[in-house]
Amino acid sequence: MKQSFLKTAFLSTVFLALLSCSSDNNTDTNPVVVPPVLVDTDPLTTTNVATYMVDKNATKETIALFYNLKKLAKTKFAIGQQDAFNGFYKDAGGDSDIKKNTGNDPAILGSDFMFITDKNNNEQSDNWFYQQEKKITDDVKSAYAKGIINTFCWHLREPNNEDSFYAADMTMEQKNTAFKSILPNGANHEWYKKKLDKVASVVANLKGVNGELIPIIFRPFHEFDGSWFWWGANFCTAEEYKTAYQFTVDYLKNTKGVHNILYAFSLDNSYTTEANYLSRYPGDAYVDILGIDNYGDFNNQGQAGADKANAKLKIIADLAKTKVKIAAMTETGYQITSSNTPITNWFSTFLYSALTSNNIEVSYVMFWTNNKDAYYVPNATATNASDFKSFTTKSKSALMNTLPKMYELPK
């Protein structure tokens, strides 16, 4: 940063000197118009990346992913989907619905630790939950081999009965005590550590063909500003939330020695100011990616909704510049069902506007999963297929075919 300041000061001095010479010798009264000198003030370089990351001992592929995501945002945003390789509209298997529509793979694959850490996963080959674990991890490996980015959320079931992650399915007593119980010295802290042990084991065994660890983005305790999940704002204080998030990172990174994770902090769309956004922020030492999950602003609100979403993205994009972090739309979408019809130009006009207006720098956007009866991303047969395809071919959009090599630092 100091070098950038000195460079700017030097160029300004040269400019003033030239302007002075021009004033002394030029009889033309029209002012000399000199274009401003643009100086890249981004302090991130290929040699100092790790200093801005949560894990200073991250693998070289993970370091490269952080660097390339940060730099990608200057020109493009990556496009992905949760369960892209397994969630299909009308159960039409094969390629992802994104590829069916566009001819190209998604740039991001979203996965979930939910089934992997389920109490019923006994790690036996005939166990359904273990079969899901194998399917998920195989998909992650396939995605990495193609150059796709992998991200995980975690719909962790509550610690009492482990039946649901929704607060609505819990008693009032359970809602008021569940989150507090997983904190250090809490009644279910050891239970939580065992869940993290499973996460650590899985992530430490995600390897490429050359034995290298596959980097993932991990987004724990997401959408915490709402209270539909048992870790929501109504069920823990800001300090309790920060403590749980910090413990999660420290345990995986320091206790379990997992060094192939980027950590994402992700609210829902309730905030309108920087202070709102940071009210439960665990600190720069614990966060690589500043995210927002935003469905509400795109729920049939047209350009006004897109503008609201853009304003919220700008808050985190500006924070990402200041903190040298990555900004992302970690979840979004407008679900189409038999009774919920497509909105004209939802992707190509409203969403694209939200992601690009006001010169914001957003690294990626991820849509939620498709299923047999409903979709967030249209396949080739859907009535709004052309709108999505148009969205993906715009100048700032990137599917896998236009991603740089995300796991290598540029030479």
**How many CB atoms are closer than 10 A to CB 31?**
10
Q: Please provide residue 217's backbone torsions phi and psi, each rounded to the nearest 5 degrees.
A: -100, 130
Cross-strand bridge partners of residue 327:
290
CA nearest to 332, candidates 305, 295, 298, 302: 295
CA nearest to 289, candidates 78, 98, 96: 78
Residue type, 131: Q
Counting every residue written for the chain, the total comes to 411
Record the tokens describing residue 309, joined without a space.
């979403």
DSSP string, 278-333: TTT---GGG-SEEEEEE-GGGSS-HHHHHHHHHHHHHHHHHHHHHHT-EEEEEEE-
> Cα(20)–Cα(36) distance, rounded to whole angstroms?
16
Residue 274 known to be catalytic: no
Angle CA 330–311–229, to nearest 5 = 40
Check 133, 158, 331, 361 and give the catalytic one. 331
> Cα(276)–Cα(279) distance, rounded to whole angstroms?
5
> Cα(281)–Cα(267) distance, rounded to whole angstroms?
10
Check 212, 223, 240, 408 and give the catalytic one. 223
Q: Could you give the maximum distance between any two Cα atoms of the chain, in Å? A: 89
Angle CA 31–33–39, to nearest 5 = 145
Residue 223 known to be catalytic: yes
- Residue 305 to residues 113, 276, 406, Cα–Cα distance (Å): 31, 19, 32
Query: For tokens 């679900």, what's the residue?
Result: 335
**How many CB atoms are closer than 10 A to CB 184?**
11
CA nearest to 326, candidates 5, 4, 42, 1: 42
Query: Sign (positive/negative) of CA torsion 98, 101, 105, 107?
Result: negative
Query: Which residue numbers are catalytic?
Result: 223, 331
